[in-house]
Structure 1
Amino acid sequence: MDSTPHGAAVTAAGFGVEGPRGWAFRNIDFTAGPGSLIAVQGPSGSGRTCLLLALTGRMKSAAGTAEVGGLPLPKKKAAVRSVTALAHVPGVAELDPALTVGEHLRERALLQGRFGGSLRTLLKPRRERRAAARALVDTVLTAAGLDLESLPKGIRTSVRDLERLEALRLSVALALIGGPRLLAVDDTDLKLSDDERGAAWRMLHGLAAAGTTVLAVCSEPPEGDEDVVLVRTGGRPEPTTPEDASGASTATTAHDESEDSEASEAGETGKGGQGEPSGPVGTGSADSTPAETPTDDGHHDEEGAADALAETGRA
């Protein structure tokens, strides 16, 4: 890929999203330069996916400020969406298991050629457009580390037959076709082995090194990696007024009562505290109501995201 930095700088100060069921997350503070790798870590229910959607202009924030590539949120949500892309986000940007790898790639390349290019590009001869599309697909596959020859049926392999890491790579490659300045990846390390997790982080590091800012939601960030900007969700701010304290106490009690039933569910549930960071850190806090609920296929979505879908733009 082109090593010229073209990624978007990302900043947030007191950033938060609130839905009908309470705060999905709040008090997020961090700064990341162009071409950074940003890891969003936190327990389930702490609003990690909501933060990803909010920072890509697909969910409206309710508190604080944030900027992506100099574009303020939520005022410039549409502009932010045009320079960002989502990968591996359950219910928003996910692969169709009935399609093959080739069908996914052709569909995305076709959409990019018709709606993402300039008028001059559309006026080029069909042969030139096809050659450009093939070159683009080869470039993003290489960047995502997806080797078609290693797949069971090559480019004709169905998505349902892909390993988890291969599916992640395909989702990332599809998102890269649009040339985003910020790539947001959800569930980066979900159900990956240690070796697969290491390979996924190496892929994302490579993308950031090539100039694209990467925002990755994870359960465990790479250890001892000083090049990663770590943003933690899940902490709880100290109440500043008696009313805040009362509200926090009531919310915690409600959560505790549901804790036993949530513990038996598949996927991620519950909340956690906020530890001391080992590198550049952004801090955040979640309010009382868990923002993520597990789904039957092992993925999770976030209640905050579901509640705000009326305000959410689809990728």
Structure 2
Amino acid sequence: MTDEATAAPAIEVRGLRKAYRDNVAVDGVDLTVHRGEVFALLGPNGAGKTTTVEILEGYRRRDAGEVRVLGVDPDPGTPHWRSQVGIVLQGTGEFDELTVTEVVDHFAAFYPAPDDPAAVIDQVGLTDKARARTHTLSGGQKRRLDVALGIVGRPKLLFLDEPTTGFDPEARREFWELIRALAAAGTTILLTTHYLDEAEALADRVGVIAAGRLVEVAPPAELGGRRDALATVSWRTTDGTTRHEESATPTALVADLAARFDGEVPGLAVTRPSLEDIYLRMIGHK
């Protein structure tokens, strides 16, 4: 294990609070994100997710609480600290008349020890578009350019805000591979997303925030007691109707059904609550 892996957490928050007049957006949030992990912060619109992340990024001031990001208070942060943090917003900006290479070169100049722009362009899969003007890029290619601008400074911590909104399924899967590669190289990633399958595919741990409070933090497979939740066994009866039965021992129930049907059980399905089921329950969705 490296020294960095055993160092202080990448993000440590205690008692974070932020209010806008009478509206409490963040109400006593405690959060730890370990170095080297992919952490997904989930929550409905208006839950306090964006405010929390903006405070961590140094864009917004808190009213109370302690915050350390890479060991530094982001309010106000320092130039050295900012050089270690990469931020990919939902839209970085428009550079219609510049080429991909020109844009990445321009952003690289902001950092004291940037990565090689050509290598970054290759890393995000835009080598074939290096000389293309950005207005000719597809939505997915523009999003890859956003990531290139976020990582060209060799950040230790990368914030990704809704990174695949508007992507088609193939583009989303390709983007996931890029995120996995960044994580494998040691970059800590804090991800916000409304796609529950994305959080499950990418995150080591997820946190659910609702009404300004952090409800729970756990690996996706364990959130809300998901791993130990009752399974639902479904099958089709002899009269053609479908039966559903919850069971703590679904294997035994399936064996019993197989004996009853003398082999193959028609319409058999065994399911446990999905991450989406658990998430909707946690945020109070009826």
TM-score after normalising by structure 2: 0.64
Superposed displacement of residue 20, structure 1:
4.5
Q: Please tell me whether the aligned partners of residues 57 and 74 of structure 1 are also in contact (alpha carbons under 8 angstroms).
A: yes
Q: Deviations over 1:236-278 (max 9, x none)?
A: 66xxxxxxxxxxxxxxxxxxxxxxxxxxxxxxxxxxx968963
Counterpart for residue 134 of structure 2: 159
Q: Please tell me whether the aligned partners of residues 14 and 65 of structure 1 are also in contact (alpha carbons under 8 angstroms).
A: yes
Change (3 A) 1:41 1:106: same
Counterpart for residue 11 of structure 1: 12
Q: Which has the larger radius of gyration?
A: 2
Distance 2:125 2:162 in 1: 18
**In the alignment, structure 1 residue 25 sits paired with structure 2 residue 26:** yes
Change (3 A) 1:33 1:168: same
Gaps of 5+ in 2: 224-286
* AA aligned opposite 2:171: E
Q: Deviations over 1:84-135 (max 9, x none)?
A: 1211344xx43433432122122123333xxx25xxxxxxxxxxxxxxx8x7
Superposed displacement of residue 213, structure 1:
0.9
Match 1:138 to one of 93, 118, 133: 118
Distance 2:17 2:170 in 1: 34
**In the alignment, structure 1 residue 103 sits paired with structure 2 residue 102:** yes
Match 1:148 to one of 113, 116, 127: 127
Name the SS for the 2:180 alignment partner.
helix
Q: Which has the higher helix share?
A: 1
Counterpart for residue 200 of structure 1: 175
Q: Deviations over 1:66-99 (max 9, x none)?
A: 2212223546466643421211344xx4343343
Name the SS for the 2:192 alignment partner.
strand
195-204 or 170-179: bigger deviation:
195-204
Identical aligned pairs, as a percentage? 22
Counterpart for residue 284 of structure 2: none
Counterpart for residue 214 of structure 1: 189
Name the SS for the 1:215 alignment partner.
strand
Change (3 A) 1:275 1:111: closer
Q: Please tell me whether the aligned partners of residues 207 and 215 of structure 2 are also in contact (alpha carbons under 8 angstroms).
A: no
Counterpart for residue 68 of structure 1: 69
71-80 or 187-196: bigger deviation:
71-80
Q: Please tell me whether the aligned partners of residues 229 and 279 of structure 1 are also in contact (alpha carbons under 8 angstroms).
A: no
* Equivalent residue pairs, number: 219
Distance 2:37 2:151 in 1: 16
TM-score after normalising by structure 1: 0.58
Q: Deviations over 1:126-163 (max 9, x none)?
A: xxxxxxx8x711332233x32321xxxx3232323222
Name the SS for the 2:73 alignment partner.
strand
